[in-house]
Chains A and B, each alone.
Chain A
Amino acid sequence: MCPLYTDYAAIIYSELWTMKTYKRLNKYFPNTSFVLIIFINDTLEAFSILIKNGDFEIKKLEFVKDIQSLDRIECNGYLVIPSDIFLKGIEAIKLGISQNKVIMKNEESLEILSKIIGDT
C-alpha cells in the first residue's frame, strides 16, 4: 500500500475529508477560494490546501526547504509552524504567532486553519 498522504498533510486532509463527506465544506467555507500553504519547518514538510466550491485539494510541496521559498509560490497565505505546536492544536498555534514561533502571511490563513482543526 502506498498512502496518498501521511503525517501533517494527512491530519489536515482527514478533517477536510470529514467536512466534505458530511457535505459541510460550503457551510464552513462559503464563497471561498483560498490557497493556504502549511510548512512544518522542523520536519520540512510543506503542502498547499485549496478549498473551493465544496471541494478541496491538497498538494505536497516537496521542493520547499525554507521559508524564503514560500514567497516564490503563488498562494493567498501561509503558516510556518513547528511540529510540536501544530500537534498541540489551534490555541497553541495562536500563542505561537504571538510569540513569533509561528510565522503567518495573511491573517485569513489562521481563520481557515481554525475552521479546519479548531474543533479537534
Chain B
Amino acid sequence: MTVKMSALDRVLTVLDGKVPDRVPSFCLGGDYEFVERFMKSSYALTKEDMQQIDSDKVSYNVPFIHSIIAKFSPHEILKGGLDAKIDMCWQFVNRNPPIKLDDSESDYLYQNGMILKTIIRENGIPHLWYAGPSLKTKQDIQSYWEKAKYLEPTELCVKNFARTRETFRDKYDIIVSQGENGPFENLVLGIGLANFARYVRKDPEFLKQHIKFQWETFEEPTLKLLMETKPEIVMCGDDYGFNSGLQISAKDWRVFIKPILKEYVDIVHDYGSKFILHSCGDLHEIFPDFVEIEIDGIQSLQQNCNPLKMYREKYPEISLIGTIDDSEMLKYKSPYEIDQVIKESIRLLGKKGGFIPGPTNFLLDHPPENIVALFKAIQKYGKY
C-alpha cells in the first residue's frame, strides 16, 4: 500500500523524477473576475471558512487568491472545504514602488521599466493592465540606469514570505512556490519587443549591457533575498512563446536570455531548492536547452501548441506542470467533459510521475464548477 505523502513530499518527489503516492495538482492563481464568480457561486467562502483563514493569516490578495485555494482543501483541513485539493500555488516577489524617469508628467514605471495600470472596467470589476514599455529610446534606458538605487530590492520585497509558506505548508498542506520575473519579461516588458529586435540587429552590446544592468541591479539581488528565506520551490515567470512559436528566435534567446536564466537556476540549486519556469506558448525549440540548464519543471504548456507526449518521453528530466487548457476547455466544457479530459491527460502524461496538472495560467472568467471538477478529477484519477 502506498503511504500518503505530504504535498511537499509529493511535489518534490515528482520534481526529483520519481513516482509519488498520487498525481499532485497546481494552481497559479486567479484574477478579480474569477474571485467575483467564485464568491457568487455555491462554493463561496463562508463566515466559518473565513474565521479559520483569518486566524491563520491567509492572504486574500489577487491574483494569488490563497484564501480561495485554501477552500479547495479536504474537510479535515478546512471544515467547509471542497475536498478538491490543490497541492501547489504561487506568489510573486516584487514590492518596489514605481518610479519616474524625470519630474515631468510621464508615467510611473515599475522595476523592469513597464507601465502597469489598475483600471476598473465598465462592469465594476478591477483589472491590472500592462500599458506598454516606458524605455522607448536609448536615452530612456540610460536615464533608467541612473535610477539604479531606486530599483534595488529591499528586504520588504520578501517580507512575510517564509511565514506564508510555512502557514500554507503546515496548516493547509499546500506548497507556495515563490519567484520573480525572468530575464526576458523584465527586458521586453520594459523596452518593448520591437526595440529588442532593433538592438539585436543594430547594437547587441548595448542590449547586453541593459540585460546585465537588470540582472545585477534587481534580478540577482531579489532572488538571493528570496533564497535567504529558504523556499523549497522557486517558480519564475518568463513567457517565451506565442501559440505558433517563440516571440524571438531561438538563436537570440540562446545569446541574450539563456545565460541569465541559467544563473537563476544555478542560484536556486545552490541553495538546495527546485526551480520551476512558468512560460507560455510553444516552447519546443528550446525545450532541450531547459534540460541542459537543469530546470526541474516547466509550468503552463498549452496542449494545443506543445508536443507534450514527446516532451514526456524524450525529456523525462523535466516535470510537466499545468497543461490543462484554460482558454477554451475549462471555460466552455461541462464538468463531466473536464473529468474525462483529466483522466486522459493523466493516462498520457502521468504514468510514471513527472506530471503536475493544473490550469495553464491564471483563472479568469471560468465557471467555478469547472475548476472544482478539474481538481476533483486530479484526485480521482491521480492514484498510483
Contact = CB atoms under 8 A, between A and B. Distances in A.
B32 A87 contact: no
Interface string A20-51: 01111000000000000000000100000000
Given A5-B120, A18-B62, A88 B39 contact: no
Interface stretch (B121-129, B192-200, B311-319, B361-369): B121-129
Nearest to A43: B105
B108 interface: yes
A4 B100 contact: no
Interface residues of B, number: 26
A84 B100 contact: yes
B98 interface: yes
Contact of A83 (B108, B118, B119, B125): B108
B334 interface: no
Given A22-B60, A87-B97, A120-B61, A17 B118 contact: no
Given A10-B126, A17-B125, A17-B126, A22 B120 contact: no
A17 B32 CA distance: 9
Contacts, number: 72
Contacts of B47: 23
A111 interface: no
A11 interface: yes
Interface string A42-77: 010000000000000000000000000000000000
Contacts of A22: 35, 39, 45, 50, 60, 67
Given A22-B39, A22-B67, A88-B97, A14 B50 contact: no
A50 B15 CA distance: 50
Contact of A6 (B39, B60, B117, B125): B117
Contact of A4 (B32, B98, B105, B124): B124
A69 to B, nearest CB: 21
Interface in B95-133: 97-100, 105, 108, 117-122, 124-126
A18 B124 contact: no
B146 interface: no
Interface in A71-106: 83-84, 87-89, 92
A17 B124 contact: yes
Residue in A3, A43, A92 with the greatest tally of chain B CB atoms within 10 Å: A3
Interface residues of A, number: 27
A43 to B, nearest CB: 8
B108 to A, nearest CB: 6
User: Taking each of B61, B67, B120, which has the highest tally of chain A beta carbons within 10 Å of its own beta carbon?
Assistant: B120
B285 interface: no
B117 A1 contact: no
Contact of B50 (A21, A24, A120): A24
A89 B124 contact: no
Given A22-B67, A89-B97, A3 B32 contact: no
B117 A7 contact: yes
Given A18-B32, A84-B100, A88-B97, A2 B122 contact: yes
A105 B61 CA distance: 30
Nearest to B99: A84
Interface of B: 32, 35-36, 39, 45, 47, 50, 60-62, 67, 97-100, 105, 108, 117-122, 124-126
Interface of A: 1-7, 9-11, 13-14, 17-18, 21-24, 43, 83-84, 87-89, 92, 119-120
Given A13-B126, A18-B61, 5 more contacts: A4-B124, A10-B120, A17-B32, A18-B126, A22-B39
Q: Which 4 A-B pairs have the closest CB atoms?
A: A14-B126, A5-B120, A10-B118, A3-B119
